[in-house]
Amino acid sequence: MPETASGARGEITRADVDRASATAADGARPAGRRVALTPTQRMIAARLSESWRTVPHITSFLDVELDALVAFRAEQETRISATAVFIAAVAHAASVHPIVNASFHSDASEVEYHDACHVSVATQTESGLLVPVVRDAGEKSLEQIERELTDLTERARHGRLTRADGEGGTITLTNIGRGGIHAGTPIISPPQVAIVGVGSSVRRPVVRGEAIVPGLCCTVDASFDHRVIDGMAASGFLRSFGDVLEDPRTHLS
């Protein structure tokens, strides 16, 4: 007779079944621990979940060559990071395609076009992902962008950002290539309508004239709010962004 039978005449009761099920479930649960999210992580989780539920994302991809960008950076009198060039490229492409540098207010069915391009830069820290803002990126030199980016990044990693440092962004940049990632499908941060990602750089065969030669390349991607940005506008913006990376001397000098 089963040891779990507790009925008056030795029969198995509903309580026996429930108790056995609970014991089996406890035994199948892997050992581990649960950790509460930090306030920053909870906020990010809530915002990204809302974005994924409510914003119809379209993501486009473009392969670009980076040899000219590497040479351009080497020519600068001061050190300019690749991320600083990406910020400048986002601002330039947004000036050509202003619909991307906008906010969508769904409650009023209105698109707000921004006069200035304030680039939110995704920054990984020990406390989670933070997104400080490089303001007026389209009006600043590469040296100014680099100094501001360095300051924001350092303060982000040491927990010294203020609330104001992360407010007012009009478009987001994420340099996923720093983690060795080839490409991704980044999630938009409403009310912004676009986010740009840059993948890792690798040597690939490229065609130049009649020759096939090794070239340093990467894949850039961007997600757009399809309620505001159609396919032509999305591809136009991403192509303009890629043009800056492939010929920075023309667009950024």
* Predicted confidence pLDDT, tens digits, the chain (253 residues): 445 577 677 778 888 777 877 765 555 667 788 999 888 889 889 999 999 999 999 999 999 999 999 999 999 999 999 999 999 999 999 999 999 999 999 999 999 999 999 999 999 888 788 999 999 999 999 999 999 999 999 999 999 999 999 999 999 999 999 889 999 999 999 999 999 999 999 999 999 899 999 999 999 999 999 999 999 999 999 999 999 999 999 999 8
Residue type, 72: F
Residue 248 CA to residue 253 CA, distance in Å, equals: 7
105 is known as an active-site residue: no
Task: Report the alpha-carbon distance of residue 81 to residue 177 in Å, rounded.
Answer: 13
Entry pTM: 0.86
Q: Which CATH number fits domain 57-252: 3.40.50.1000, 3.40.630.30, 3.30.559.10, 1.20.1440.230?
A: 3.30.559.10
Long-range contacts of the stretch 69-72 (C-beta < 8 A, 24+)? 69/245, 69/246, 69/248, 70/216, 72/248, 72/249, 72/252
Residue 174, burial from CB neighbour count under 10 angstroms (0-12, 13-18, 19+): buried
CB atoms within 10 A of CB 30: 4
- Both tokens of 252, joined, read 């950024």
> Which residue out of 57, 97, 182, 226 is catalytically annotated?
226
β-strand pairing of 171-174 with 119-121: parallel
Task: Extract the tokens encoding 32.
Answer: 């581990």
| Residue 110 structure tokens | 């209105």
Contact status, residue 224 vs residue 193, Cβ threshold 8 Å: yes
